[in-house]
Amino acid sequence: MFKKSLIAAFVAIMVLMMISTSAFAAEKTTMSPEIAQALTEVETVNAAIYSEIAKAQEEAQEMYNQYRSDYYAADDAETKAALTAKYDEEVTALIHELDMKTREMTRLGVEDATAAGVTVEIEWVPVQFPDRVALIDPLVVIGW
């Protein structure tokens, strides 16, 4: 329960940081309604990406906890090796699925932002999973 609250708080903070960054930029430069809409869409895409990351992290943690429990309950090395191989395959598939989903979200976000005249860049950020780190790709606004 604590982990879900922590993840939800992290996502909320990230969304607030993204919103405050564009609000700060809006004060310095006048922008058209199309640019404002595009910036909002970029923030929405990033929030969705971070939400997907949080879901995958939670699922990976549950898989890891189950794996550790089964691993310590196993008596022989063959069973432990099979459990390790199964866990590794499942968590790798989960991370790959997350990566493909976020890449598609990013691609669509870049297309929409570019069409509206906003320059964005893909930023690879390290995401911690229970026993490994993966790079995921949210968007960063460069200018308009």
pLDDT tens digits for range 64-101 = 999 999 999 999 999 999 999 999 999 999 999 999 99
Residue/partner pairs of 30-39 with CB below 8 Å, 24 or more apart: 31/144, 34/116, 34/117, 35/116, 35/117, 35/118, 35/144, 37/116, 38/112, 38/113, 38/116, 38/117, 38/118, 38/144, 39/118, 39/141, 39/144
**pLDDT more than 70, % of the chain:** 83
Strands 119-122 and 132-136 turn out to be unpaired
Strands 119-122 and 139-143 turn out to be antiparallel
> What is the per-residue burial (b if ≥16 Cβ within 10 Å, else e) of 24-57?
eeeeeeebeeebeebbebbbebbbebbebbbebb
Per the model's pLDDT, the better-predicted residue between 16 and 103 turns out to be 103
pTM given for the model: 0.75
* Neighbouring-strand partners of residue 128: 133
| Band of residue 45 on the pLDDT scale cut at 50, 70, 90 | very high
| Band of residue 22 on the pLDDT scale cut at 50, 70, 90 | low
Residue type, 80: K
Contact 120, 41 (CB under 8 A): no
SS3 123: coil
